[in-house]
Amino acid sequence: MPIAPPPQRPPPQRPPPQRPPPQRPPLQRPPLQRPPLQRPPPQRPPPQRPPPQRLLQGPGRPRDRGRLRTLPTRAGGVVEESEQLERFKDFLTSKGLRLTKQRQAIAEVFFRSSAHLSLPELLALARREHPSVGYATVYRTMKILAESGLATEHKFAEGSVRYESSIKGEHHDHLICVDCGRIVEYEDDEIERLQEELAR
């Protein structure tokens, strides 16, 4: 009797090799771009107009200051605004500078004023005639006017600088209210005598 061959088992099947999942590069986000910080422009204090000057009571007397600014001449006459401007132009020429429209606007409003003006006040007045006038131009122009002898620079106790036209040959003093800052030009013969004695 023939012997049947043993049954053949199929060879074991190995699972296919597992490949690692593909690695994606990390997502790179663009850096956040912040808008540049915009700082507000510096705010300058509004120009302060000088308060009206009142007459003083007492032996002294306030100076009589009209609207027309004049300068004493060597011949004893007066120099009007147009001649003051011509003097300023001559001084600028001697320094190699020009009388620009901005400088002319500043000088004209200064010569017409009868008050002790600060730089912000001069800036506001000049811009009425020439809107492009800047603060730095007012500062430099008034320094030149003071150097030329056409303006007098006063540094008062509160630290402010004010300018007045050099229209007089005689000396005078200033009375300043400590509460409101009002400035009054004042003349007193006794004060003048005492000052002359102290200066000897």
Ranked by mean pLDDT, the top range of 14-23, 45-54, 142-151, 156-165 is 142-151
pLDDT of amino acid 57: 42
Residue 145 lies in a domain: yes
Give residue-wise pLDDT tens across range 13-30.
Answer: 777 777 777 777 777 777
Kindly report the pTM of this predicted structure. 0.49
Which of the two residues, 29 and 177, has the higher pLDDT score?
Answer: 29
Of residues 140, 78, 63, 150, the one with CA closest to residue 108: 150
Q: For the chain, what is the domain count?
A: 2
Is the pLDDT score of 175 beyond 70? no
Give residue-wise pLDDT tens across range 61-99.
Answer: 444 443 333 333 333 334 577 888 999 999 999 999 999
Q: Can you tell me the mean pLDDT for 23-39?
A: 74
CA atoms within 13 A on the CB side of 23: 3
Does residue 91 sit in the same domain as residue 161?
A: yes
Which of the two residues, 143 and 71, has the higher pLDDT score?
Answer: 143
Phi/psi of residue 64, nearest 5 degrees:
-85, 110
Does residue 116 sit in the same domain as residue 157?
A: yes
Does residue 158 sit in the same domain as residue 175?
A: no
